Amino acid sequence: MEYIKRMVVCLICLAAIATVICINIRADDVVTNAKAAILYEAESGRVVHSKNMNAKLQMASTTKIMTTILTIESGGLDKPFEVDSEAIKVEGSSMGLLEGDIVTKRDLCYGMLLPSGNDAANAAAVSVAGSVEKFVGLMNKKAAELGLTSTHFVTPSGLDDFTDDHYSTAYDMARLTAYALKNETFREICGTQSVSLDLNGRKLWLGNTNKLLSSCDGVYGVKTGFTDKAGRCLITACKRNGIDLICVTLGDSTDWIDHEKLYGYGYEALERIELGDESYMIPTVGGDRPSAKLEGEPVSLTLQRGEAERIEKTVLIPQFIYAPASKGDAVGQVVYYIDGGVAAVSKLRLAEGVPKK
């Protein structure tokens, strides 16, 4: 009987150890084939995992993230116009534009982000800047504004077989994607699995090349890419448990699998915590009561597991407030620190008004 008890205890311990092993995936094991990769937390800019993230590499059609966001920001998305007949004469993937087609910039954005149309990218470039060359200038100007110091564009489509000057890094592309996803139109389009367009009477059906939209929990974008020089490139975005992650792989023959592994690692390594649910009392001067209640604004923070234990805080409140004061007035704040750096700030507001005595 005692032997059986010892065996049961051993089996329970082994099961617990196995569970820990399965949950705690080693960061070094999640990517094996990518030339460069990054798992990036969109809200804070935290690098959760990386491999050669600053290596300058070709990024193929993920280039169209920049082309699309510039097209969206140029405005007039639903104004019809005829496509430039020369711009759509381009090799590679296509949305199926024909000479004489009447489109909108919105149509072209779908054409770029879903089937990765090189014809759509060139047509969008001409519609925005007047020529492909001038549009490329806008792309590099925007890259500089965003601080993408290791990025240089030569084409709006990402075709790179004729040049070595079209490049970026996994880190820069993650930052560009985080910027683009703040735009609701971009976010909506890149997460669309299929769409039917009406090009002045000609029906066009477009399907998204990003199969993780339907096969990986929480994925809502962003862009695939491939050229002989760049290899397989993939940028996706995923949201689970309130945490937005962006995954970039460049030159990765097993990109679909690697993105799922990276997300599995990332969401196990991170947690979302709520702060700011605190209250304090502050003396009043000239009010109908001696003190008033302050309540903290809730703030959410994404942390690596275990970091929450290192949070420290400083409460900043004046010695008193003068009446009258209104409910909701910001009076002080709580500053949260991790390892000496500011992690979050919660404003302290009056829970009720304080009229004069």
Question: Rounded CA gap, 186 and 309, in Å?
Answer: 37
Of 64, 105, 223, 261, the catalytic one is 64
Is 210 in contact with 223 (CB distance < 8 Å)? yes
Question: Rounded CA gap, 228 and 326, in Å?
Answer: 64
Active site residue 64: yes
Active site residue 116: yes
Among all chains, which residue has been given the structure tokens 């735009």? 183
How many helices (H) and strands (E) are present in the chain, helices listed first? 9, 17
* Closest to 250 (Cα-Cα) out of 229, 267, 269, 219: 229
DSSP-derived 3-state class of residue 170 = helix
205 sits in which H/E element: strand 202-207
Question: Rounded CA gap, 138 and 209, in Å?
Answer: 27
Residues 155, 161, 165, 166: is their CA dihedral positive or negative? positive
Question: Rounded CA gap, 158 and 64, in Å?
Answer: 7
Of 61, 127, 157, 168, the catalytic one is 61
Active site residue 214: no
Exposed, middle or buried, 7 (CB in 10 Å: 0-12/13-18/19+)? exposed
Of 50, 93, 105, 116, the catalytic one is 116
Question: Rounded CA gap, 36 and 31, in Å?
Answer: 9
For residue 74, give both structure tokens: 């140029």
Which are the catalytic amino acids? Answer: 61, 64, 116
